[in-house]
Amino acid sequence: TDFENKDKIVEYLDTYNDGLENRDDIVVYTDLAATISSLTGGIMGGITMVLVAFAGTSLIVSLIMICIITYTSVLERTKEIGILKALGARKKDITRVFDAETCILGVFSGTLGIIIAYLLTFPINAVIYSVTELSNVASLKWEHAVILILISTILTMAGGHIPARMASKKDAVEALRTE
């Protein structure tokens, strides 16, 4: 009638079969519920691995895009870099300017992503409930939200650090000659 009773029956049969040596006395049974559960567990594991692979690929692509956008920002602000260097800014000061910008971008983009994900849980839960009558399937815990914002910030800073280092190595005189 339910899984608890099924587990009790399986446990009883296993205990009964433990001491028997005669094959005619052993009770042979098939636990279809366990078989189906293991099959669906395997399928869900496979689907999870595929989704993780897609997510990893998208993170790598976004990291490259952040690097390109930060590099474009460095190229467009070459004169500003030259002025900062002429005023006495050190290499690490220039790097810190661009690193601070990418950090702010990472925090705000991560926060925006969390807000959008949280707002999407309401229609997703409504659709799932109308189809399966399961309530509150999609949820977002605050611990996970903080971790996702940290990951967003770290990845954005990692993607923007190389162009920031390139900006810090520009010669002041050459940078002021541009434009």
| Position 26 pLDDT exceeds 90 | no
More confident residue, 86 or 3: 86
Domain membership flag for residue 155? yes
What confidence score (pLDDT) does residue 100 get? 93
Burial status of residue 84 (CB atoms within 10 A of its CB: 0-12, 13-18, 19 or more): buried
Share of the chain above pLDDT 90, in %: 37
Domain membership flag for residue 28? no
Q: What is the pLDDT of residues 118-135, one digit of tens each?
A: 999 999 999 999 998 888
* pTM of this prediction exceeds 0.75: no
Instruction: Quote the DSSP letter at residue 138.
Output: S
Domain membership flag for residue 111? yes
Domain membership flag for residue 3? no
Report the Cα–Cα distance between both ends of the chain, in Å, rounded.
Answer: 80
- pLDDT band for 117, please (50, 70, 90 cuts): very high
Domain membership flag for residue 24? no
Q: What is the pLDDT of residues 161-170, one digit of tens each?
A: 999 998 888 8
| Position 179 pLDDT exceeds 70 | no
What confidence score (pLDDT) does residue 169 get? 86
Domain membership flag for residue 56? no
Instruction: Quote the DSSP letter at residue 170.
Output: S
**DSSP string covering 51-107:** HHHHHHHHHHHHHHHHHHHHHHHHHHTHHHHHHHHHTT--HHHHHHHHHHHHHHHHH
Q: Which amino acid is at 154?
A: I
Span 14-22, average pLDDT: 83
Q: Give residue 72's domain range.
A: 66-177
What confidence score (pLDDT) does residue 134 get? 84
Q: For the chain, what is the domain count?
A: 1
Residues 6+ positions from 92 with CB-CB distance below 8 Å: 168
* Nearest-angstrom CA–CA distance, 79 and 175: 5
Q: What is the pLDDT of residues 61-108, one digit of tens each?
A: 988 998 999 899 888 888 888 888 888 889 899 999 999 999 999 999
Span 47-59, average pLDDT: 91
Span 19-43, average pLDDT: 82
